[in-house]
Amino acid sequence: MANPTAASSSRLLYSTVLFLLLCASACALYADEAGLNDFVIRTAGHGQVGVRYASLIGEPPKSNDDNGDTIDSFGTSVWVTSQSNEFPGAVSDGFSGVSSAGEVAGGFDPIIGKLDTSTMYDDASCSIAGRNVTSGQVLWRVNACSSSSRGVNTKTGEFAPRHVTLASSTYPNVVYSIDNAGVFRGWNSNDGMLQLDMDLFQQINTSDDEKETHQFPHGLPRLLDTSHPRIIGTVVAGGGEDESLVLLDTKTGQPISSSPSSKEEKPFIVLSAKSLLAKAKISKKKYDTARIVDVMYVKGDTTTKRHPGHLAVLVAWSSLNEEIAAPKNTQVIKSVSSFSSMAWIDVKLKEVIQTSEPPEASAPKSEDYDDWSTTLIKSVSYSYEVGKGSPFIVDGVGSTPLLLSSLRKVVGGEKNDNKNSLSVMAIAATSSQLLLVTNINTFIGNSGGSGRSYEIDTLHPHLRLIDTISVPQMNDDNTVATLTISGVDDRYPTSSRIESLFEVTVDGSDGGGEPFRRVYGSEKKGDEEIMHSAVVLCPTFESSGLVVAAVQDGSDVFAMPYAVNEGQTSCSSMAVDGDSSIVPSTRGGSSSTGSNDRAHLLECFPHTMTVAFTTTCGMTSAIRFETSSSGSMKATKLWTSEEALGSISSAVFLDETHAMAMVAPSDSQEAAINADYEEEKALRDLQFSSRIQMQLNSLREGIFGGGLLSSLKSIAIMSDEKKAERDIAFGFAKVAVLLSENMHRVVALDTMKRNVIWSMNLHAGASWHKIVHGGQFVSLNDPHGNGGVNDHEMLAISYVEGASSSVEWKCFDGLGGKIFSGDSSPVKTSISQIVPLRTSSHQPHLHDSSGCRQVALLVHSDNTVSVIPNTARSRAIVQEAVTARNNGLFVHSIDKHTGEFRSQIVSMKAASDSYDLVTVGLTVFDPSQEKIINVSYPRRGEVMQSPSTVLGDESLLLKYLNPHLVVVVTQATPSFFSEMKPDADEESTNGFYNSLSTGASTQQMRKPLGAAKPGEGPPNVANTAAPSLFVSLVDSVSGQILHRVSHSHVDSANELLETTNVPIVVSENWVVYTFFNQRTRRTDVGVLTLHEGMIDKNGITAFSAPEQELTFSSLESAKPIVLSRTFGLPKAVSALGVTSTKAGISSKQFMFATGNDQVISLDRRFLDPRRPNGDLKESEKVEGLMKYAPMLPIIPFLTPSHVHEVSSVKSIASASAHVESQSLVLAFGGPDIFFSRVSPSKGFDLLPDDFNRGLLTVVVVGLLVALNVIQRMNKKKMVASFWS
């Protein structure tokens, strides 16, 4: 008879092995995967303003191969973009204080929306970026500004570019910029390395010949492309409004000075426009301001290798701040002039050559040698001599007023065998005419031209105002130019932008033709229907050319190609195969925010054409068009970039482990029922019985479905699919729902796939937006999905301020982006607080047009409340929150202007479904003495492993855990700081220092090291300087100040910053904050730990225990005992964060975003305020305390960002995984987003790096074979024994 015990053991072993092999979740996490899942998403960093300037620079494309066949290769070109002026050399108009099409003014733009500059990072208006044309990768990004001021006019709120960018074929491989402080820089176009750095104003304001202090006109810099490879121009102004020209050497960056004609004459570096106009004998007439309009290089002798010749300088008299025609309800101020008020001035260039002795005969030859045997040219520089001037004589339109900033060089070409002829175009001051001047000879003495005017109705029947003339880069020998002219159609309440394509020839009249003609759209449509917002032409495509335009089709925006017909006066639409969508509806195509803005030609070849489409506050897409064998046009989307990622203000993590299946049926009611059913099914699958059934099904499939071999293979070699399943099982699959308030946009980022899965536009005119998720008393790890990471229903709230203010809300799914419901509710007063509320139990709910599971309670400034959405279910959730707790629902509001911190309780009105607010406590931070600069709250739903800390002597240090804690940081006002006495021993007569007192405690047992009694300041502090920064701990229920500390971070009132950056993080009973100390020139890290008291090691026994309150009350509980320390950090800090794990067992790590674009981490032990000053005692060593050191270390292997650069981080968020040792960290707020998976306590639940998976497979298989063999042997032996 067989042994039953052996049989049972065999079955158990078989079942165990098969279970391990076939279980889908039987995967392991390995320590050598650390850092593999980290990534950085880089954006161009142009923020809300977007791409205003774009240019292609680099090596020219190769059009033919060695056999002479045409090929399409783009070389190493880089697409350079920035927020600076679209036309770097255009005359500046200053500030209008109102908006016109394409301009941001008064803090609002009809396309960009509300311009929020308060949350912009310092370089938000100063970024220059270089992208790879094919992949869209941001190769480099630089901050072109030397100061940290914001690019907004303080009087009007209008956006003012703080720098100007110039990337031109004239200056290959170098991108030039100059900021509003006069710093002129040159950047390598391939890697962004700084090649040139010069302070212009320091050079010209300190020169002997200059007595005036110069600056840029209206504070707006300009860079003039002179078409000379060694000379670039800029414009400055002295004491008045009159402008002057400064020529800069592109190789050295130094200003070029004049060449004196006599020994008595001194060289000068500033060319006054007024003196140049006087030289040409042009009187002021009706205009009284001298302006520099443009500079053009006139070639001389081309037989030498260097660049002699002349510069033709165009100067003009103009008016300032003249009101012109503008769209409805707007007023636009521009500078006005006329061709008759202009003049050409001849500036003759001279070479200054430095030579040296000839080199040895073996030395390598260089093009700089004039004569190899005699002279070596060591360096070549330039000087100039001002020649004669000549009036700009134009036939026909010479006296017509024009907008000086709209003047453009259109085309250059041959005239009388002389390559110095060009055409210019401008917009008339009425904004309803185009002025074209052709046959301009830039040789002085014959600088006239033939003028024509074109009425607005000949350009497009729907145009009401002409706004912009855009001309692509051109060569001097071009005879035909393609340009786009955009205007405004204001027939409707919301003005729209129309862009049309035109061609200009050098002199069409010589052949009897018209020099200016429009390239019409499809011949299948009437002229009124052709209304493109962006259009671009590739003239060499298939010999006749290809036009690509942005077309609006419902809620989608896509690119449409048009083949240019013979004669180039019309084009025909073509069928498209592939993805040509620019802004699909799923990515925000249904709103003006995110709509198409401009089209930029990246590649133009005989068979391919690549176009980049930039959108306002949205996406940038590059689409390549090429001919296919079927005759249609093949469209390939090369890359897309979500620009909103460069301006994220808040983030919410969602777990996609239990993703709710999204259904999109036609009937919304049916969709809601299906969605509820899918969510109910997902919740049922989480039950224990359901999971056992799933494991049995998996086992059955493995046995009968051929899954055994695949399972063995997956153990030996982990596939990508298996790894993805494991990451989902371990909780690494997160979706970060990101809010960009500046760009009025919500973006969802998949942290596993590292891409954007959906985006949604919010109200473009809103003052602010907020995402509401979860509730006040809901755990983030709630397995039932009631407001935690497994709950995917979210609420987006937008506050639209105006004569009739309103709140617009959208209820949406955070994983798929599906909008369940939405509406707008009017409000009478502003909103001071948003309280998230979520029901404590799961209840099925149909998503009707006005309902949402997520609820928000809005606290208004007039002490009233409202509910969003305002439905019976929402009011029931509020009522549940009000009555669920014995003391009711408490809220608070903070008014930074009045300094009031008001604590209130929500109560229901009698016989009504509305609510009242009753003030419980009030704390006032006197705005005449201090201003609130930051407010921080504890991390909602944080999991804590223990309410106490075990000390080295086995006593307990009890944590003070107050969920209603609020940290308020204030800074002394300059007036009050100057009145305060610097001696800390003298008591202030106004009682300001008395506010540091926090009361007295009645229960004190034993004071641990570094502790301060309630009411006392930090121990051992010797500081005689007047305090200027204050950190207050306030209870939001009682309104009391629990503790208050002060810091002296300035020496004088003049050093007080307008906006002091004080990042704060509150975790458990820890408060950590940083600030820059101007007295010590370092970053100070302040640490506060809050405690209730201590219990000796013998205080808790089997027979006795100290009396303790089981519940916490903000109104009755004692104030905390505070331990405090201040440390130093050698790096500036812009953001703080802390890791979070599933059960809170792993030690905490605090994350610091530093000024050198790194994210570093420090174990909490480094920041412990209990670190002793002297040698460690044995009990302190047991506890793991470290000796106090004033400076915190920066440890390279504790730098999660390691090789990545993460710029201008403003926030650091974290989420827990299902593995206790792992924490997911996301750093955002600047132009970069960084994601990392860190192990605060190392990988105590990870397999080691050298774990041998192959050996495990061999052992398991060998065990199965051995078991089978032994069983057979045992059976034979038992049979033989029976027979014997």
- pLDDT over 90 (residue 9): no
Lowest average pLDDT, out of 187-196, 1096-1105, 1254-1263, goes to 1096-1105
Whether residue 463 has pLDDT greater than 90: no
Poorest-pLDDT segment among 159-173, 322-336, 670-684:
670-684
Report pLDDT for 746.
Answer: 92
Contacts with 1200 (C-beta within 8 Å, 6 or more apart), sequence order: 38, 1151, 1159, 1160, 1161, 1225, 1234, 1236, 1238
Report which of residues 374 and 1085 the model is more confident about. Answer: 1085
Which is more confident, 696 or 592?
696
The CA distances from residue 1163 to 614, 1125, 1149, 1157, 1226, in Å, are 43, 16, 5, 20, 18
What span, in angstroms and rounded, lies between the C-alpha atoms of 1040 and 997? 12
Please report how the helices 1253-1283 and 707-716 are oriented relative to each other, as an axis angle in degrees rounded to 10.
130
pLDDT at position 83 is: 86
1255: buried, middle or exposed (CB in 10 Å: 19+, 13-18, 0-12)? exposed
**Residue 1122: strand pairing partners:** 1012, 1090
Spell 621-653 as b/e; 16+ CB within 10 A means b.
bbbbbbbeeeeebbbeebbbbbbbbbbbbbbbb
Report residue 264: phi and psi, to 5°: -75, -25
- Residue 57: phi and psi, rounded to 5, are -145, 150
Alpha-carbon distances, residue 812 vs 397, 667, 733, 843, 1258 (angstroms) = 58, 17, 20, 18, 50
Distance CA 336, CA 405 (A): 8
484-498: average pLDDT: 77
pTM exceeds cut of 0.85: no
The predicted pLDDT at position 1088 comes to 95
Give the phi and the psi of residue 728 in degrees, each rounded to 5.
-70, -40
- pLDDT mean across residues, the chain: 77
β-pair partners for 572? 563
Distance CA 577, CA 1191 (A): 62
Contact predicate 355/377, CB 8 Å: yes
Residue-by-residue DSSP string for 626-694? EE-TTSSEEEEEEEEEEGGGGG--EEEEEE-TTPPPP---S-HHHHHHHHHHHHHHHHHHTSHHHHHHH
Diameter of the chain measured on Cα atoms: 135
pLDDT in tens, 499-513: 888 888 765 444 456
Residue 965's pLDDT is: 93
Give CA–CA dist 63/1023, Å, rounded. 72
1004 within 8 A of 1093, measured Cβ to Cβ: yes
Render 874-934 in DSSP notation, one character per residue: HHHHHHHHHHHSTT-EEEEEEETTTTEEEEEEEEEPTTSS-EEEEEEEEEE--TTTEEEEE
Sheet holding 408-415, edge to edge: 394-395, 449-455, 433-441, 418-427, 408-415
Q: Which residues pair with 502 in a beta bridge?
A: 483, 518
Q: Is 439 within 8 Å of 410 (Cβ atoms)?
A: no
What is the pLDDT at residue 426?
A: 92
Range name among 161-170, 191-200, 1164-1173 with the lowest pLDDT average: 161-170
Q: What is the DSSP string of 929-997?
A: TEEEEEEE-BPTT---S-SEEE-TTS-EEEE---TTEEEEEEEE-HHHHHHS-S-TTSPPTTSTGGGG-
Adjacent-strand bridge partners of 968: 935, 1032
Q: How many degrees, rounded to 5, is the angle at CA 1014 between CA 1012 and CA 1017?
A: 50
For residue 493, the model assigns a pLDDT of: 67
pLDDT band at 874; cut points 50, 70, 90: confident
φ, ψ at 651 (rounded to 5°): -145, 145
353/962: higher pLDDT: 962
Query: Which of 1197, 1193, 1077, 1087 is closest to 1136 using CA atoms?
Result: 1087
**1154 Cβ neighbours under 8 A, 6+ residues apart:** 1131, 1132, 1133, 1134, 1160, 1194
What are the backbone dihedrals phi and psi of residue 860, each rounded to the nearest 5 degrees, phi first? -95, 160
Q: What does 122-187 look like in DSSP terms, one character per residue?
A: TTTT-EEEEEETTT--EEEEEE--SS---SB-TTT--B--SEEEE--TTSTTEEEEEETT-EEEEE
In terms of Cβ atoms closer than 10 Å to its own Cβ (0-12, 13-18, 19+), residue 911 is: exposed
Instruction: Label residue 732 exposed, middle or buried (CB < 10 Å: 0-12, 13-18, 19+).
Output: buried
Alpha-carbon dihedral 44, 45, 51, 52, rounded to 10 degrees = -130
What is the 8-class DSSP label of residue 1247? B
Confidence of residue 394 (pLDDT cuts 50, 70, 90): confident
Could you tell me the pLDDT band of residue 1234, with boundaries at 50, 70 and 90? very high
Interatomic CA distance for residues 461 and 491, integer angstroms: 12
> How many Cβ atoms from other residues are within 10 Å of residue 41's Cβ?
19
Rg of the chain on CA atoms, in Å: 36
Neighbour tally for 538: CB within 10 Å: 24
979/993 Cα distance (integer angstroms)? 13
Query: Which band of pLDDT confidence, cut at 50, 70 and 90, is reported for residue 1099?
Result: confident
Omega before 1130 cis (within 30°)? no
Could you tell me what percent of the chain has a pLDDT over 90?
A: 21
At 999-1055, the pLDDT tens digits run 333 344 444 544 444 444 444 444 557 888 899 999 999 999 999 999 988 866 666
1048 three-state secondary structure: coil
Cα(240)–Cα(748) distance, integer angstroms = 52
In 495-553, which residue ranges form alpha helices assigned H by DSSP? none
Distance CA 881, CA 879 (A): 5
β-strand pairing of 581-583 with 650-655: unpaired
pLDDT at 7: 55
What residues contact 1088, with CB distance under 8 A and at least 6 apart? Answer: 1031, 1033, 1043, 1045, 1070, 1071, 1072, 1122, 1123, 1124, 1169
Q: Quick check: 1275 pLDDT over 50?
A: yes
Side chain identity at residue 640, one-letter code: T
For residue 1241, name the pLDDT band (cuts at 50, 70, 90).
Answer: confident
- The CA distance from 407 to 12, in Å, is 88
Contact 429, 466 (CB under 8 A): no
pLDDT in tens, 846-872: 556 677 888 999 999 888 889 998 888
Query: Which amino acid, residue 1009?
Result: L
The C-alpha atoms of residue 88 and residue 90 are separated, in whole angstroms, by: 6
d(CA 1073, CA 1126): 10
The number of residues making up the chain comes to 1284
Q: How many CB atoms lie within 10 A of CB 1267?
A: 15
- DSSP letters, 774-804, are S-TT--TT-TT-SSSTT--EEEEEEEE-STT
Structure tokens at 371: 């004569």
Closest among 764, 497, 765, 645 to 46, alpha carbons compared: 645
Given a contact cutoff of 8 angstroms between Cβ atoms, the answer to whether 1047 and 984 are in contact is no
**Structure confidence at residue 118 (pLDDT):** 47
Q: Is the pLDDT of residue 475 over 50?
A: no
Instruction: Inform me whether the pLDDT recorded for 553 exceeds 90.
Output: no
Q: What is the pLDDT of residues 1165-1220, one digit of tens each?
A: 999 999 999 888 888 888 889 999 999 999 888 889 888 899 889 999 999 988 88
pLDDT for residue 127 is more than 50: yes
